[in-house]
C-alpha cells in the first residue's frame, strides 16, 4: 500500500481553527482533479484539510462547490448564502513607479521619529545656530546703505554680479587682500624737542660693540676674573656722576666718602676706621690722598677743603673757599705740596698746604663744573675736564705764584660731546686718555706734547673712569649706562680698528678688535668711582648699589712666579662692611 510522505511538523499550520468534514465537502474533494494522475482522497494530508485564504471567487461555503478547471463563472456573480454580490473588477494593469537609481533609499524609521530635514528645520527655527548670530530679516548692518541692502537682497547665490555688488557695498576691491603687509608708517617729523631727546638717548641703546656674555677675552694668553676678589658694603654712597668719592693711597689704604662721613679701610689688615664727618648742613663731594699717602684732602659741598692726617686721624686744617670759588669742590688732585681743587663754578685753585695763605693760583678755562682733575707723574702738566665737554691741559712748571695770577691752558680740546670726568696719564709715555659721558661714550688718547689726538675708542657706554697699566700697554675703563661694565683695551689698537687714525682727526673702524676683556654688570648701578692700587694690579670700584668691589685686572710680571696664596695676601677674599 503506497503512502504519501508526511509534511514535517515545522511546516504545518499552527492555526487552531479547523474546517469540519461534512459529506458534501468529501464529495466535492473527490470530484476535483488536481493532476493528470488521480489519487484517492487522503484525509491525512494537511494540505487537503486546510482552506487557503484565496479570493472570494474561490472561497467555498456550505452548499457551494469550487468551480472546475473547465467551468465558467456565472457572470461574475457568486452565490453566498443565497445572496448575490458583485465583484469590483479592476480595468487597468499595475505599473510599478519609476525608481531613481541615484537617489539614496530612505531609511526605515519609526513613525514617531521625524526625518532629518524635518528635524533640521524645526531645530533651526526654534533654537538657531550657536556659532552664527541670529538677525531679523528687517535689520540691516549700519555700514550698508539702503541702496546696497536692496541690491544684495534679491541675490542669494555667489554669482559674479553678486560678488561685484558685495565688493561695491563693503568698499573692498576684488583684487586686494583684506589683510596684507605694508610699508611701516613714516617717522614723526613734529616736535624738534623729541628729536633732540632721541639723539641724546641713542648711545644708551647702541650695544653693537658690547658682547652678550658676562666676561669675554680677546687675548687668549691671559684671562681676567669676572668675579671680584673682595666686596665691601658701603651704605650711604651717593649716586652722583660729578663727584669723586674713592681714593687709594700709596700706603695701601682706601678712603671712601659715604654721605657726610669719611672712612679708611686698610688693605693690609682689613681694619676699617671712621676718619671724620663733614660740618652740619654739608656733605663730602671729593677725596684724594697725597702722593706719599700721609694726608687726605676732603672737598665739601660748600667749596671748603679739609686736610686730614691719615695716620693719626686728626684734622689739620680747613681751607675756606675764596669768593669766586662758587659751589661744591667736586674734584681734587695732589702733586707734592700743592693740592688742586675743581669747583662747580668752573674755576680751578692751587693750594699750598705748607703756608697759611694756601691759595697760590687760580685757573679759569671751563664754563661748567670741573668734575675731573689729574696731575702727570712728574708734575709737568695738569689735565682738567668739565661739564662743558672741554679738556684743558695746563702747564704746571710755573712755580709758586701769587694768588692774583690767572693761568691760561696750554691747549684746549673740544672733541667730546658730553661731560669729561675720566682722565689718566700713561706712566710710560707722554699720553693722556680722556673719556666722555652718556652722549659721547668715547675715549680719546692725546699726545700731551703736541696736543694731537692719536686714537679713539668707541665704548658704547658712559665713561666714568680710565686707568693705564703700569707694565704693559693697556688701559681699563669703567662705565655707567648701559652695561655698568669694566672693559680692557689694547694700546695701540690693532690696525683697522676704531683706534686707527686715518686722517686729521678722522677715526674709522670698530672698537671690537681693540677690546681685550669686558666684565658686564660689574655692579647693579653705574660704576661711578674707581681707583687703582699702589702696585697697579687691583682696581676698586664704587657704585650707587652701595658696594665697593675689588677686581684683579693685571698681574706684575715678577708676581707670576709666586704662588697664588702669596698673591692674595695683600687683598683677601670675602664680604665685609666698611661701617
Residue 496 pLDDT: 58
Other CB atoms within a 10 A radius of the CB of residue 340 amount to 25
Confidence of residue 537 (pLDDT cuts 50, 70, 90): very high
Is 563 within a domain?
yes
Q: Rounded to an integer, what distance in angstroms lies between the CA atom of residue 257 and that of residue 287?
A: 7
Look-up of cell digits 686744617: 317
Q: Are residues 459 and 565 in the same domain?
A: yes
Is 334 within a domain?
yes
pLDDT digits (tens, 9 = 90+) for 396-447: 876 444 444 556 899 999 999 999 999 999 999 999 999 999 999 999 999 9
CA dihedral 499, 502, 505, 506 (to 10 degrees): -80
Q: Are residues 27 and 97 in the same domain?
A: no
Look-up of cell digits 465583484: 87
Q: Does residue 510 register a pLDDT over 50?
A: no
Q: Are residues 355 and 304 in the same domain?
A: yes
Total structural domains within the chain: 4
Angle at 532 between CA 529 and CA 533, to 5 degrees: 130
Q: Are residues 152 and 165 in the same domain?
A: yes
pLDDT digits (tens, 9 = 90+) for 556-569: 765 555 545 554 54
Q: Are residues 365 and 475 in the same domain?
A: no
Confidence of residue 49 (pLDDT cuts 50, 70, 90): very low
Handedness of CA 411, 412, 415, 421 (dihedral sign): positive
The domain of 3 spans 1-43
Q: Are residues 432 and 553 in the same domain?
A: yes
Please write down the HEC assignment for all residues of 388-453.
CCCEEEEECCCCCCCCCCEECCCEEECCCCCCEEEEEECCCCCEEEEEECCCCCEEEEEECCCCCE
Contact 360, 347 (CB under 8 A): no
Q: Are residues 419 and 544 in the same domain?
A: yes
Is 442 within a domain?
yes
Q: Are residues 354 and 234 in the same domain?
A: no
Q: Are residues 265 and 138 in the same domain?
A: no
Contact 552, 538 (CB under 8 A): yes
Kindly state the cell numbers that stand for 333.
688732585
Contact 32, 66 (CB under 8 A): yes
Is 185 within a domain?
no
User: What pairing do the DSSP bridges indicate for beta strands 370-375 and 411-413?
Assistant: unpaired
Radius of gyration of the chain (CA): 57
Nearest to 317 by CA among 356, 361, 275: 356
- Cα-flanking dihedrals φ and ψ of residue 341, to 5°? -125, 140
Q: Are residues 107 and 256 in the same domain?
A: no
Instruction: Calculate the CA 518 to chain-centre distance.
Output: 23
Q: Are residues 100 and 110 in the same domain?
A: yes
Half-sphere exposure of 261 (CA within 13 A, CB side): 13
Work out the average pLDDT over 115-136: 52
Contacts 24+ apart (CB under 8 A), 144-153: 144/169, 144/170, 145/169
Residue 385 pLDDT: 96
Strand ranges inside 190-344, DSSP E:
215-217, 230-233, 246-248, 253-258, 261-266, 272-277, 284-289, 295-300, 305-309, 314-319, 329-335, 338-343
Work out the average pLDDT over 323-334: 83
Q: Rounded to an integer, what distance in angstroms lies between the CA atom of residue 92 and that of residue 577?
A: 123
Instruction: Calculate the CA 180 to chain-centre distance.
Output: 26
Instruction: Calculate the CA 360 to chain-centre distance.
Output: 57
Taking every pair of Cα atoms in the chain, the longest distance, rounded to a whole number of angstroms, is: 175
Q: What is the mean pLDDT of the chain?
A: 75
Query: Quick one: residue 319, left, alpha or beta (phi over 0 = left, psi -120 to 50 = alpha)?
Result: beta
Assign residue 342 the CATH number of its domain.
2.130.10.10
Q: Are residues 235 and 246 in the same domain?
A: no
pLDDT digits (tens, 9 = 90+) for 490-500: 999 886 554 54
Amino acid at each position: 500500500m503506497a503512502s504519501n510522505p508526511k509534511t514535517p511538523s515545522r511546516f504545518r499550520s499552527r492555526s487552531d481553527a479547523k474546517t469540519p468534514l461534512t459529506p458534501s465537502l468529501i464529495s466535492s474533494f473527490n470530484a476535483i482533479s488536481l493532476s493528470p494522475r488521480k489519487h484517492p482522497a487522503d484525509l491525512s494530508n494537511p494540505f487537503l484539510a486546510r482552506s487557503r485564504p484565496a479570493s472570494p471567487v474561490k472561497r467555498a461555503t456550505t452548499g457551494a462547490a469550487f468551480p472546475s478547471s473547465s467551468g465558467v463563472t456565472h457572470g461574475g456573480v457568486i452565490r453566498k448564502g443565497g445572496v448575490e454580490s458583485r465583484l469590483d473588477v479592476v480595468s487597468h494593469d499595475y505599473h510599478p513607479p519609476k525608481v531613481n537609481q541615484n537617489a539614496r533609499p530612505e531609511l526605515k524609521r519609526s513613525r514617531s521619529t521625524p526625518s532629518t530635514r524635518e528635524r533640521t528645520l524645526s531645530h533651526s527655527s526654534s533654537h538657531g545656530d550657536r556659532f552664527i548670530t541670529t538677525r531679523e530679516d528687517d535689520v540691516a548692518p549700519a555700514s550698508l546703505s539702503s541702496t546696497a541692502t536692496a541690491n544684495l537682497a534679491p541675490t542669494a547665490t555667489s554669482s559674479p554680479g553678486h560678488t561685484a555688488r558685495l565688493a561695491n557695498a563693503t568698499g573692498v576691491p576684488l583684487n586686494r587682500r583684506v589683510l596684507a603687509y605694508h610699508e611701516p608708517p613714516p617717522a614723526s617729523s613734529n616736535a624738534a624737542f623729541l628729536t633732540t631727546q632721541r639723539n641724546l638717548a641713542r648711545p644708551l641703546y647702541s650695544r653693537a660693540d658690547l658682547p652678550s656674555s658676562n666676561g669675554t677675552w680677546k687675548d687668549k694668553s691671559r684671562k681676567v676674573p669676572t668675579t671680584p676678589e673682595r666686596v665691601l658694603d658701603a651704605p650711604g654712597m651717593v649716586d652722583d656722576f660729578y663727584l669723586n668719592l674713592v681714593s687709594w693711597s700709596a700706603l695701601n689704604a682706601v678712603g671712601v666718602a659715604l654721605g657726610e662721613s669719611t672712612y679708611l679701610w686698610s688693605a693690609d689688615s682689613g681694619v676699617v676706621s671712621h676718619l671724620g664727618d663733614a660740618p652740619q648742613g654739608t656733605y663730602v663731594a671729593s677725596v684724594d690722598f697725597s702722593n706719599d699717602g700721609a694726608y687726605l684732602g676732603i672737598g665739601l659741598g660748600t667749596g671748603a677743603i679739609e686736610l686730614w692726617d691719615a695716620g693719626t686721624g686728626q684734622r689739620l686744617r680747613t681751607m675756606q673757599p675764596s669768593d669766586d670759588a662758587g659751589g661744591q669742590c667736586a674734584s681734587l688732585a695732589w702733586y707734592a705740596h700743592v693740592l688742586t681743587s675743581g669747583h662747580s663754578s668752573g674755576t680751578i685753585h692751587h693750594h699750598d698746604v705748607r703756608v697759611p695763605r694756601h691759595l697760590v693760583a687760580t685757573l679759569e678755562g671751563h664754563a661748567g663744573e670741573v668734575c675731573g682733575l689729574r696731575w702727570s707723574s712728574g708734575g709737568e702738566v695738569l689735565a682738567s675736564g668739565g661739564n662743558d665737554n672741554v679738556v684743558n691741559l695746563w702747564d704746571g712748571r710755573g712755580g709758586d705764584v701769587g694768588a692774583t695770577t690767572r693761568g691760561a691752558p696750554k691747549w684746549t680740546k673740544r672733541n667730546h660731546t658730553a661731560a669729561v670726568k675720566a682722565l689718566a696719564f700713561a706712566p710710560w709715555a707722554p699720553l693722556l686718555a680722556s673719556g666722555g659721558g652718556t652722549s659721547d661714550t668715547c675715549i680719546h688718547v692725546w699726545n700731551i706734547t703736541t696736543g694731537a689726538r692719536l686714537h679713539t675708542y668707541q665704548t658704547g657706554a658712559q665713561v666714568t673712569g680710565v686707568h693705564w697699566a703700569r707694565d704693559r700697554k693697556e688701559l681699563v675703563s669703567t662705565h655707567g649706562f648701559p652695561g655698568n661694565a669694566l672693559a680692557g683695551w689694547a694700546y695701540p689698537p690693532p690696525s683697522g680698528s676704531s683706534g686707527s687714525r686715518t686722517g686729521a682727526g678722522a677715526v674709522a673702524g670698530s672698537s671690537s678688535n681693540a677690546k681685550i676683556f669686558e666684565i658686564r654688570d660689574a655692579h647693579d648701578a653705574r660704576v661711578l668711582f674707581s681707583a687703582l692700587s699702589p702696585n697697579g694690579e687691583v682696581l676698586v670700584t664704587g657704585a650707587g648699589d652701595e658696594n665697593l668691589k675689588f677686581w684683579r685686572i693685571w698681574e706684575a710680571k715678577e708676581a707670576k712666579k709666586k704662588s697664588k696664596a702669596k698673591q692674595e695676601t695683600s687683598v683677601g677674599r670675602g664680604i665685609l662692611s666698611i661701617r
